[in-house]
Copies of this chain bind each other. A is one copy, B any other.
Amino acid sequence: MSSLTIPPPPCLQKRLLVPHRYMFGPGPSNVPTRILEAGAKPVIGHMHPEIFEIMNDIKSGIRYVFQTQNKVSLAVSGTGHTAMECAIFNTVEPGDSVLVAVNGIWGERAADMAERIGKAASSCSRCIISPQALSKHSPVLFFLAHGESSTGVLHPLEGIGDLCHKYNCLFLVDSVASIGGAPVYMDQQGIDILYTGSQKVLNAPPGTAPISFSERACRKVFNRTTKPVSFFLDLSWLANYWGCDDKPSRKYHHTGPVTAFYSLRESLAVLAEEGLENSWKRHQRVMLYFHAGLESMGLKLFVKDKDTRLPTVTTIVAPHGYDWKEITGYIMKTHNLEISGGLGPSVGLVLRVGLMGCNSSEANVDMVLAALRDALKHCHKSKV
């Protein structure tokens, strides 16, 4: 006869306390009350007509922010990484070659994922796209992060889709850090798979990830000879659950995170209310204001080429003579404000500041600049 051996943990007797904090790192961003309240509405069933309606709203919202007519547009029940895996799992079969532009951490991770699928995928090349690379590797998929939030680079998208298609390669774009903050035109730019996360410009809590597949991508996905490695991310199941296929009814696939869908729906509604172009312009204007302020303080921007600076996440060259960790720690402690250090290849080289969605405003720029000024005054500076 078994009996309880693990007592109730005392830590769970304490009240749950969560501080308010200015979330000006590379994400998650602050979530406006309207979106937080949407997520606190009552739970209904993952197959009830009302949730299908909300999911339909989400699909329409995704088509708008992605600028696409793709039928297969939906939200994955997970974060950006889940969407990245959804894209790769569904399009890549064992033996397929994948080409990845590794310009920061997101490319590294996409390459890691592609290499896990099968032996030949490990031959994926880590170079920038070129006719030579496409011809040499015959990849089924080319991955590019539009907004590389680890380095602060916004990668141009024009022309890449057409080039990929000439070589029968699908064009996969990660827009987690850029969507809503910089122009993306999925259909016009020939993007075959586009995904983003809920917690950046969209200002919803992390946990859902919009994704869309072009007809060209669907032809590859729905005519593959092997099943994708994941049942949970199998697009034939997901497309049916989201009412994106031609089947008469939706089958139970998994229990959708309904309250996260409420928040995502509301965040798309907020962006649609402002209008995409207005949001792009605001992020651009606030970025320029921010960058001018940084330069007037004598700080240097990590991305030299003005045209490829990401409007949502700014990388600042780590101030000479300072310990970057002391700066971010000081600002968190003194100003209750998150800015962060580098990530992956940029660790130690930069400070990163994200002003995304509702956080992108001149008033917030002033707050960050004041905090930085204060930190540079009070943090230890070596004589070197």
Kindly provide the distance from the CB of A233 to the nearest chain B CB, expressed in whole angstroms: 9
**Does A18 belong to the interface (CB within 8 Å)?**
yes
**Closest residue on chain B to residue A200 by CB atoms:** B255
- Contact call A5/B187, Cβ cutoff below 8 A: yes
Residues in chain B near residue A231, CB distance under 8 A:
81, 85, 109, 112-113, 116
Interface locus among A138-146, A266-274, A284-292, A374-382 = A266-274
- Contact call A45/B60, Cβ cutoff below 8 A: no
**Does A308 belong to the interface (CB within 8 Å)?**
no
The answer for the CA separation of A47 and B328 in the assembled complex, in Å, is 13
Residues in chain B near residue A6, CB distance under 8 A:
63-64, 67-69
Interface locus among A33-41, A215-223, A314-322 = A33-41
Kindly provide the distance from the CB of A296 to the nearest chain B CB, expressed in whole angstroms: 28
The answer for the CA separation of A190 and B41 in the assembled complex, in Å, is 40
Kindly provide the distance from the CB of A153 to the nearest chain B CB, expressed in whole angstroms: 19
Kindly provide the distance from the CB of A3 to the nearest chain B CB, expressed in whole angstroms: 8
Interface locus among A49-57, A129-137, A298-306 = A49-57
Residue count of chain A within 8 Å CB distance of chain B: 96
Residues in chain B near residue A272, CB distance under 8 A:
8-9, 12-13
**Does A210 belong to the interface (CB within 8 Å)?**
no
Give a binary string over A182-216; 1 marks a CB under 8 Å from any B CB, 0 the rest.
Answer: 01010111000000010100000111000000000
Kindly provide the distance from the CB of A273 to the nearest chain B CB, expressed in whole angstroms: 8
- Contact call A230/B85, Cβ cutoff below 8 A: yes
**Does A42 belong to the interface (CB within 8 Å)?**
yes
Residues in chain B near residue A265, CB distance under 8 A:
12, 16
A residues 56-82 touching B (CB-CB < 8 Å)? 56-57, 60-61, 63-64, 67-69, 77-82
Copies of this chain, whole number: 2
The answer for the CA separation of A209 and B268 in the assembled complex, in Å, is 26
Give a binary string over A255-284; 1 marks a CB under 8 Å from any B CB, 0 the rest.
Answer: 111111010011011001101110000000
- Contact call B41/A39, Cβ cutoff below 8 A: no
The answer for the CA separation of A13 and B272 in the assembled complex, in Å, is 8
**Does A384 belong to the interface (CB within 8 Å)?**
no
- Contact call B25/A44, Cβ cutoff below 8 A: no
In-complex Cβ contact of A56 among B11, B259, B266 (8 A): B11
| 30 A–B pairs (Cβ distance < 8 Å), ordered by A | A2-B189, A6-B64, A6-B67, A8-B276, A11-B60, A12-B57, A12-B61, A16-B38, A16-B265, A16-B266, A17-B50, A18-B42, A18-B44, A18-B262, A19-B42, A21-B42, A28-B43, A28-B258, A29-B43, A30-B42, A31-B43, A77-B82, A78-B232, A82-B254, A85-B232, A112-B231, A116-B227, A116-B229, A205-B257, A207-B259
Contacts A12-B268, A81-B231, A207-B207 known; list 12 others, CB within 8 Å: A4-B185, A5-B185, A6-B68, A6-B69, A9-B57, A9-B272, A16-B262, A18-B44, A23-B43, A78-B232, A116-B230, A207-B260
